[in-house]
A and B are shown apart, each in its own frame.
Chain A
Amino acid sequence: MISPRHISGILALAVLLAGSALAQSGRAPSVTMAPVGLVTAQRASRTKVPLYFRVAPGFHINSNKPKSEYLIPTTLRMDVPTDIVLGEIDYPAGKDVTFPFSPGEQLNVYSGDFTINLAVHPLHSVNPGKYVMHGTLRYQACDNAQCFPPKTLPVSFEVKVIKEPPGPRHNPAQSPHIHN
């Protein structure tokens, strides 16, 4: 007898098949970002924040320093709250790859997983608490035969600003004659 479990299995298979077909037909490339946990940043110091991205299989995007002036580099732009300074954005080096469409030329690209590091530096004046950092990753993707228009991926993560530890205590200077 066919049980509901069998039917559920058939439906699940149908969804998988459909998903597979969709993935094959999915001409739109995707870049996704892994969720970022709460970043704890101490006031008046720099905290490194790694952002992990993944380019869908079969696609590549230009690195931050593509080798052709016409290609659109991958760039991260962040809008940071006042009193939180954004350090330099550290892009990974891309891979030099030769594609069928550029047999005589190497392009510098990201594919698979890549990480962009940035640093946040809450100033001393920031009130401790949680702050949301928003930004966008702009990229332009291609596969081996065609290219897709530039896209932007929303980027956000939360920073918990904490007070800096108290500095070393110094005893107040005393007059050598105080006990006289």
Chain B
Amino acid sequence: MASPERSPQIPEENCEWCPKCGAALKTSEEIHKVAAPGTPVCETCGIPRIEPQVDHTNFGNAPPPVPGRGRNPLALLVVAIVAAGMLYVGFHMARRTADGPDAPAILGKSTPAPDFTLDKLSGGTLKLSDLRGKAVVLNFWATWCGPCRIETPWLVEMQKEYGGQGLQVVGVAMDDSGNDEIEKFAKDMGMNYPVLLGKESVGDEYGGVPALPESFFIGRDGKIVDRIVGLKGRAEIEDSIKKALDTQASASNLPAKPSSLQSQN
């Protein structure tokens, strides 16, 4: 007959092994103290085998274990459902904030547009807050962006059409290519509005600008009224421009000197 082997199921360091049956316990005396009617008995030596959870009760003042596996399946189920829900909702919220046209979590409507000063392609600098009192389309683009080549002519048309009402389109080139290439692109597209040489730090202020084109529509009061990510229809851009034009400039927001920015690259 094969001799009984020590049970590998009890990993506790304080456990000792019954010299007769190999069951795990603290002391051999506890075998008889703990064993209750119905406790499995070792077939080899007739000594009751102590269940693993019985051992755990011998440490400290822990409450009696729940019969079975010691884990409440209902509690685990609740935890699993809650975890699943949190993961799913969390990722969906992340998606909505990342690419929704409303994008309330990044730069919500009525949020003041972060101010910045950037170099203009044509020389000099432009500070966004100098445009207070105007409705601004802040358009992030790049020469390598195919959709930008569709959108840019629309912005050129909008600048012509609504410039007299106080619209100012501002292009921000998020481009690593040299100024020559940006200049060539601007010329090819007939850009009739200022082109700024973008910086990552400015992109970060506007939510990272992970993809192009991306436009922010800023009201006369310097607050964001709308945001469009990716190429959308011309009509959608025009609607957002109208929203920006419909805003009222507060007296404190007006710049000291009017900007003369038309047809400046």
Chain A interface residues toward B at CB < 8 A: 1-4, 6-7, 10-11, 13-15, 17-18, 21-22, 24-25, 27-28, 68, 70-72, 99-102, 107, 140, 142-143, 145-150
Contacts and interface: CB of A to CB of B under 8 A. Distances in A.
B99 A147 contact: no
Contact of A4 (B73, B143, B148): B73
Contact of B87 (A7, A17, A71, A150): A17
B95 A24 contact: yes
Contact of A3 (B73, B92, B181): B73
Interface string B221-258: 00000000111100000000000000000000000000
B212 A147 contact: yes
B218 interface: no
Contacts of A68: 146
B80 interface: yes
A3 B77 CA distance: 9
A107 B210 contact: no
Interface in B23-81: 69, 71, 73-74, 76-77, 80-81
Interface residues on B, range: 35 or more
Nearest to B92: A21
Instruction: Tell me what chain A mostly uses at the interface: helix, strand, loop, or mixed.
Output: loop
Interface in B170-220: 174, 176, 181, 185, 210-214
Given A27-B98, A27-B211, A147-B212, A21 B88 contact: yes
B147 A70 contact: no
Contact of A146 (B76, B90, B144, B231): B231
Nearest to A3: B73
A25 B99 contact: yes
Contacts of B150: 101-102
Given A7-B77, A17-B84, A145-B231, A101 B146 contact: yes
A27 B210 CA distance: 8
B73 A2 contact: yes
Contact of A14 (B76, B80, B231): B80
Contact of B213 (A6, A22, A146, A150): A146
A11 B229 CA distance: 34
A2 B77 contact: yes
A149 B231 contact: no
A1 B84 contact: no
From DSSP, what is the main secondary structure of chain B's interface residues? helix
Contact of A72 (B71, B84, B144): B144
Given A147-B146, A147-B147, A18 B88 contact: yes
B235 to A, nearest CB: 15
Q: Which 8 A/B pairs are nearest by Cβ-Cβ distance?
A: A14-B84, A25-B95, A21-B91, A145-B230, A18-B87, A146-B230, A101-B147, A146-B211
Contact of B91 (A6, A22, A142, A149): A22
8 contacts: A3-B73, A4-B76, A10-B77, A14-B88, A21-B91, A25-B98, A70-B143, A146-B230
A97 to B, nearest CB: 11
B106 interface: no
Interface centre among A6, A140, A145 (most CB of B within 10 A): A145
A81 B260 CA distance: 58
B210 A99 contact: no
Given A4-B71, A72-B144, A146-B231, 14 more contacts: A4-B69, A6-B73, A10-B77, A14-B84, A14-B88, A21-B91, A25-B94, A101-B147, A101-B231, A142-B145, A142-B146, A145-B230, A147-B148, A150-B144
Contacts of A25: 91-92, 94-95, 98-99
A70 B144 contact: yes
